[in-house]
Amino acid sequence: MPALVGLRLPLTVLCLLVLSSALCVTEALGWGCVGHMLLAEIARRQLDDKNKEKIDAMAEVFAQSGPFPSSPDMVQAACWADDVKRWRQYAMATWHFFAAPYNPENINITDAIDTVNAVTVSLDMISALKNTKAPLYMLNFAWANLVHIFGDLHQPLHTISRYSSEYPHGDNGG
C-alpha cells in the first residue's frame, strides 16, 4: 500500500498539468482574435507617425459607427470581420481565405476556386485606401478589412485546401 501513495502525487500532478494545458488552449481552428490583434500590433509598429495618426483617427470614427464599439483602435478592430460572421452575415465569407489547391493525388478537381477571396479583396481594399476621393466610411471599411484579411493570410490553414480521394471537394483549410 505505501507504494501506491507514492504514485498518487505524481499522478495528481500529471492530471493537473493536463487539465491546465487544456484550459490554456485558444481556438484550435485558427488564430482567433488574439492572433489577429498580435499581427495588427506588429503591423501598427511598422507605420510611420503620419499613418498611425490617420489610422487612429479612422479607428475612432469606426468605433462610433455601427455595431463596432469594441474596435476603438487598429489592433482591436482586427477582430471585427470575424464578429460579422458570428452574426450570421456571410456576404464576406470568402474574404477570409485563399484556398490554393494542394492536390498530391492529382485527382480531378471539379470545384471552382472562389474568384472573390482574401487576395482579390485585399487588392480592392488597397485600391480604396489609395482613392483620395473615397468617403471616410469606405476608408474605415477598407483598413479594418485589410488588417483582418492580412491576419487570415498569415494563418496557414487559410491559404490552402487539400484535395484527395478522402476530400474530393477540398478539406476546407484543414
The label of the residue with cell 485546401 reads 161
pLDDT band, residue 146 (cuts 50/70/90): very high
Cell triple for 6: 507514492
Q: How confident is the model at residue 147 (pLDDT cuts 50, 70, 90)?
A: very high
- 101, containing H or E segment: strand 100-102
**pLDDT tens-digit profile of 92-104?**
888 998 888 999 9
The arithmetic mean of pLDDT across residues 30-45, rounded, is 87
Q: CB neighbours (10 Å) of residue 102? A: 13
Type of residue numbered 172: N
- Identify residue 159 by its one-letter amino acid code: T
Q: DSSP class of residue 38?
A: H
Q: How far apart are CA 139 and CA 79, in angstroms?
A: 17
Write down all domains in the chain, each with its CATH number in brackets: 31-162 (1.10.575.10)
